[in-house]
């Protein structure tokens, strides 16, 4: 049925130890920050944090006493992945300052560049730019005009 | 006979036109990540204010049906649930699309949605008053146990390690506690940020956890997003019908689950489809194929979420308690039209109610040709779009969809951060589904638990409140069965393997 079902696996002892340690710290943090809450407000997050703590300790113990495995992760360019994350974060953070249209044009353009693996030609640049502008224009009209969603104009463009 | 006459009124040309328009609009809105069925209905409610009640209800029902179905397109083709009800559709729909069976997955989703929708409408027609009385017996404690029952699905949703599944669910449950608590109004885990006071928005979290990891992996390699079909093979209707016939019990069970969960106010289509997915996996002789492109997984979730449409109208009409969030919007529209819900919906206002149910049947049937047609082109277009355009287009839809939920740019940042976190955790073996399950069930479990605790304190026995009510005991029995059955089955599988080795 699938290729993933029989994909090669790797030793997960180190990654499981790492994951368990992070989750133990996370659960302890959740417990620590619940100390100032009322009983009603803290009973549920505390119960869950203790549950996470117990399961994480069990995972840590398992990573020492047995040999867990994980499917091999999808390979690929780390640089492009980090680039995509950076662009998405910049997109979210710049919405208020640059406004919806400017930030979308800039960030969507950056993503085209990141996701393209072939040689650039002038024709291709023009075609992609036109398609991208059309998509942004369509969704802007749909959301801002038809659905009346107040999309950010951008503090940068407002008169002081 | 009178009822049939009322239902036949839905067949007037204008009602048919409204049903077609409503379904088409619903499919388009539902297919866009971030725009849920609730939003589709809410946005288009004002259009119906000037219409007669029957026409308004037919249009709203059609939009709702179409939007729930439309959510499956994004789930299958880009691994992002278009609506929360389509979360479980991503589990098998997307792997099917990746291996080149996206057209079959869309056809199956269409057929399943039609069957689920019809079962839901039949339930609304025949069982409404009876089922609504059962829903009334559900108190906070029953909801708490129901949420715990939901959490037992982790064993079915976690791929690989169940331990990691529980850690993921705990992470999701803790995320659900961020913001102002429902009972006690404590401000929790906001670290002084006013943006986090409203908590983590579920739909932004869904978009982030499911869609951002896909984008991260999409840009990393030059290979195609989905495997293009090797030859022209149309919409693969005959193959889809064949699979539906094979999975008829799965479809029936999932439809019943959809109706039953829908009559419980507040539970919603996302929980119903997760329950039915888990049950389909448990009951299947090929449970190991689930999560890797098993058609039965798509059938189970898509039948359920459309059965929820008809089922959700049962408490809405009979009790005036909306079964699902879109029902709440439709209830508001009914009030604007001057209608009071309650038993009179089936007596004094029978004409309006039964014409609407007739309209729901028509909208569901209209979905078949419309869905197959739109689905065919949706798959073809997604396959043929170059990656350099697909990545920014999906990213753009996730950004605008997330922003539009609360008109808040901070939700976009939370979506991206959760997406990156989801991708990292997935590399460590924690899949997004248990996290999402925790996020969805967290508020239901917490509210039920704390309210039950307060009731128990007031009545003098917390234990009697949690363990002394017949409905609670029935759900606890279900929890025990759902935990014990996979263990018993695994044990039986091991002993039969050992027996085979001995021979």
For the segment B434-457, the average pLDDT, to the nearest whole number, is 86
Higher confidence at residue B502 or residue A47? A47
Q: B443 pLDDT band (50/70/90 cuts)?
A: confident
Pairing of strands A9-11, B179-180: unpaired
pLDDT at B323 over 80: no
Exposed/middle/buried for A79, CB within 10 Å: 0-12, 13-18, 19+?
exposed
Find the distance separating the first CA and the last CA of chain A, reported in whole Å.
61
- Is A131–B293 a contact, with Cβ atoms under 8 angstroms apart? no
| Contact criterion met (CB < 8 Å) for B171 and A44 | no
- pLDDT tens across A44-89, in order? 999 999 999 999 999 999 999 988 888 887 788 899 999 999 999 9
Whether A30 and A99 share a structural domain: no
- Residue B116 pLDDT level (bands cut at 50, 70, 90): very high
Stretch B280-307: mean pLDDT, rounded?
Answer: 90
Banded pLDDT at A5 (limits 50, 70, 90): very low
Chain A residue numbers touching B217 (CB-CB < 8 A) = 74, 76, 81
3-class secondary structure per residue, B354-398: HHHHHHHHHHHHHHHHHHHHHHHHHHHHHHHCCHHHHHHHHHHHH
d(CA A128, CA A86): 22
CB B263 within 8 A of CB B272: no
> Quick one: which of B35, B21, B120 has its CA closest to B85?
B35
Inter-chain CB proximity A68 and B396 less than 8 Å? no
Q: What is the rounded distance in angstroms from the CA atom of residue B398 to the CA atom of residue B402?
A: 6
Domain boundary among A23, A41, A71: A71
* Range scoring the smallest mean pLDDT among B68-82, B104-118, B144-158, B430-444: B144-158
Residue of A nearest to B438 (CA): A48
B217, B419, B446 member nearest A74 (Cβ): B217
CB contact under 8 A, B399 and A92: yes
What share of chain A has pLDDT > 90, as a percent?
Answer: 57
Residue A15 has pLDDT above 70, yes or no: yes
B390 touches chain A (CB under 8 A): yes
Chain B residues with CB under 8 Å of A116 CB are 386-388
Mutation target for B interface from A37, A41, A90, A95: give the one with most B CBs within 10 A.
A41
Strand partners, B56: none
Residues A104 and A55 in one domain: no
Query: What DSSP character marks residue B290?
Result: T
Which residues are bridge partners to B142 per DSSP? none
Residue B138 φ/ψ region, left for φ over 0, alpha for ψ in the -120 to 50 degree band, beta for the rest: beta
Nearest CA in chain A to B222: A117
Q: In the block, which residue shows the tokens 């291709």?
A: A124
Distance CA(B93)–CA(B375), nearest Å, equals: 13
Contacts of A120 (CB under 8 A, 6+ apart): none
Provide the pLDDT confidence category of residue B375 given band limits of 50, 70 and 90. confident
Is B496 in CB contact (< 8 Å) with chain A?
no
Same domain, A39 and A61: yes
Task: Report the largest interatomic distance among the alpha carbons of chain B, rounded to a whole angstrom.
Answer: 76
Q: Is B122 on the interface with A (CB under 8 A)?
A: no
For residue B84, give the nearest of B251, B252, B308, B317 by alpha carbon.
B308
Token representation of residue B392: 């920014």
Percentage of chain B beyond pLDDT 70 is 91
Give the pLDDT of residue B155: 63
pLDDT of residue B499: 72
Pairing of strands B187-188, B179-180: antiparallel
Q: In this complex, is the C-beta atom of B50 within 8 Å of any C-beta atom belonging to chain A?
A: no
Closest CA to B59 of B360, B370, B351: B360
Angle, helices B13-31 vs B53-78, to 10°: value is 30
Return d(Cα B371, Cα B364) in angstroms, integer. 10
Give the CA distances from residue A82 to residues A89, B195, B211, B338, in Å, rounded to whole numbers and listed in that order: 11, 26, 16, 55
Q: Which of B236, B306, B237, B293 is nearest to B23 (CA)?
A: B306
Compute φ and ψ for A121, nearest 5 degrees. -125, 160
Residues B170, A48: C-beta atoms closer than 8 Å: yes
Supply the pLDDT for residue B156: 61
For B372, counting Cβ atoms within 10 Å of its Cβ (0-12 exposed, 13-18 middle, 19+ buried), the class is buried
Tally of domains in chain A: 2
What pLDDT was estimated at residue B126? 86
The CA distance from B56 to B332, in Å, is: 12
Smallest Cβ–Cβ distance between B413 and the set A76, A93, A128 belongs to: A93
Single residue among A21, A54, A71 that ends a domain in this structure = A71
Please check whether residues A34 and A93 belong to one and the same domain: no
Output the pLDDT for position B442: 87
For residue A136, list chain B residues with Cβ-Cβ distance below 8 A: 396
* Cα–Cα distance, B159 to B336 (Å, whole number): 47
The answer, yes or no, to whether residue B388 has pLDDT greater than 70, is: yes
Confidence of residue B347 (pLDDT cuts 50, 70, 90): confident
Q: Which residue has the higher pLDDT, B16 or B342?
A: B16
Residues A8 and A23 in one domain: yes
B450, pLDDT greater than 70:
yes
Tokens describing residue B56: 């308004």
- On whether both A114 and A136 belong to a single domain, the answer is yes
Whether pLDDT at A4 is above 50: no
Which tokens is B377 given? Answer: 């082109």
How many interchain CB pairs under 8 A, A with B?
213
Interchain CB contact of B216 with A (< 8 Å): yes
E strand intervals along A5-64: 9-11
How far is B30 from chain A, CA to nearest CA, in Å? 14
pLDDT tens digits, B208-219 = 888 898 889 889
- Residue B227 DSSP symbol: P
Query: Model's pTM, two decimal places?
Result: 0.79
Final residue belonging to a domain, choices A71, A94, A118: A71
pLDDT higher than threshold 70 for residue A2 = no
Task: State chain B's mean pLDDT as an integer.
Answer: 84
Pair A114, A46 in one domain: no
Residues A54 and A105 placed together within one structural domain of the fold: no
pLDDT score for B398: 85
Query: Does one domain contain both A58 and A92?
Result: no
Band of pLDDT at residue A1, cut at 50, 70 and 90: very low
Work out the end-to-end distance of chain B between its first and last CA atoms, rounded to an integer number of angstroms: 64
Structure tokens at B325: 């969030």
Tell me, what's the pLDDT at B79?
Answer: 84
Contact A19 B395 (CB under 8 A): no
CB contact set of B15 (below 8 Å; sequence gap of 6+): B9, B54, B55, B58, B355, B359, B362
**Residue A21: domain span:** 4-71
Same structural domain for residues A95 and A136?
yes
């Amino acid at each position: 049925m699938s290729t993933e079902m029989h994909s090669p696996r790797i030793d997960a002892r180190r990654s499981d130890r790492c994951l368990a340690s992070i989750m133990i710290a996370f659960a302890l943090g959740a417990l620590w920050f619940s100390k100032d809450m009322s009983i009603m407000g803290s009973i549920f997050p505390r119960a869950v944090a203790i549950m996470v703590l117990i399961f994480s300790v069990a995972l840590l113990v398992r990573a020492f006493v047995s040999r867990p495995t994980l499917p091999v992760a999808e390979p690929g360019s780390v640089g492009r992945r980090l680039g995509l994350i950076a662009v998405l974060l910049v997109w979210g953070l710049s919405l208020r300052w640059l406004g919806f249209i400017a930030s979308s044009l800039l960030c969507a353009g950056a993503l085209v560049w990141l996701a393209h693996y072939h040689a650039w030609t002038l024709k291709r640049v023009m075609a992609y730019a036109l398609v991208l502008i059309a998509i942004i224009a369509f969704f802007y009209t749909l959301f801002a005009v038809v659905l009346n969603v107040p999309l950010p104009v951008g503090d940068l463009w407002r008169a002081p | 006979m009178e009822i049939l006459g009322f239902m036949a009124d839905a067949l007037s040309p204008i009602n048919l036109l409204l049903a077609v328009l409503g379904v088409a609009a619903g499919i388009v809105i539902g297919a866009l990540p971030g725009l849920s069925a609730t939003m589709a209905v809410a946005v288009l409610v004002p259009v119906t204010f000037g219409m007669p009640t029957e026409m308004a209800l037919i249009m709203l029902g059609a939009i709702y049906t179409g939007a729930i179905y439309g959510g499956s397109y994004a789930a299958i083709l880009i691994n992002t649930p278009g609506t929360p009800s389509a979360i479980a559709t991503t589990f098998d729909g997307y792997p099917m699309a990746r291996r080149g069976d996206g057209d079959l997955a869309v056809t199956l989703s269409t057929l399943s949605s039609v069957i689920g929708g019809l079962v839901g409408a039949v339930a609304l027609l025949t069982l409404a008053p009876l089922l609504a009385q059962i829903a009334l017996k559900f108190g906070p404690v029953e909801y708490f146990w129901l949420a715990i029952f939901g959490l037992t699905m982790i064993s079915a949703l976690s791929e690989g390690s169940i331990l990691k599944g529980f850690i993921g669910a705990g992470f999701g449950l803790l995320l659900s506690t961020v913001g102002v608590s429902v009972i006690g109004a404590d401000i929790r885990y906001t670290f002084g940020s006013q943006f986090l006071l409203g908590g983590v928005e579920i739909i932004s979290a869904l978009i982030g956890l499911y869609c951002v990891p896909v984008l991260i992996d999409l840009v990393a390699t030059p290979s195609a997003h989905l495997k293009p079909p090797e030859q022209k093979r149309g919409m693969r209707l005959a193959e889809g019908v064949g699979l539906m016939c094979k999975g008829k019990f799965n479809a029936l069970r999932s439809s019943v689950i959809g109706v039953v969960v829908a009559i419980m106010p507040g539970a919603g289509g996302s929980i119903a489809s997760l329950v039915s997915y888990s049950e389909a996996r448990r009951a299947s002789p090929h449970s190991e194929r689930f999560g890797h492109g098993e058609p039965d997984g798509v059938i189970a979730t898509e039948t359920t979420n459309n059965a929820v449409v008809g089922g959700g109208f049962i408490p809405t009409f009979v009790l005036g308690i909306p079964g699902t969030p879109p029902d709440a919007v439709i209830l508001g529209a009914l009030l604007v039209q001057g209608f009071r819900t309650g038993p009179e919906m089936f007596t004094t206002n029978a004409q309006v109610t039964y014409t609407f149910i007739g309209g729901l049947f028509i909208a569901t049937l209209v979905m078949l040709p419309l869905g197959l047609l739109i689905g065919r082109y949706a798959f073809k277009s997604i396959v043929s779009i170059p990656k350099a355009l697909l990545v920014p287009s999906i990213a753009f839809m996730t950004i605008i969809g997330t922003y539009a939920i609360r008109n808040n740019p901070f939700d976009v940042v939370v979506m991206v951060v959760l997406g990156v976190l989801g991708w990292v955790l997935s590399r460590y073996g924690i899949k997004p589904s248990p996290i999402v399950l925790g996020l969805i069930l967290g508020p239901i479990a917490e509210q039920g638990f704390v309210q039950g605790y307060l009731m128990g304190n007031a009545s003098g026995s917390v234990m009697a409140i949690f363990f002394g009510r017949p409905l609670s005991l029935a759900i606890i029995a279900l929890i025990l069965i759902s935990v014990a059955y996979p263990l018993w089955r695994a044990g039986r599988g091991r002993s039969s393997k050992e027996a085979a080795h001995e021979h």
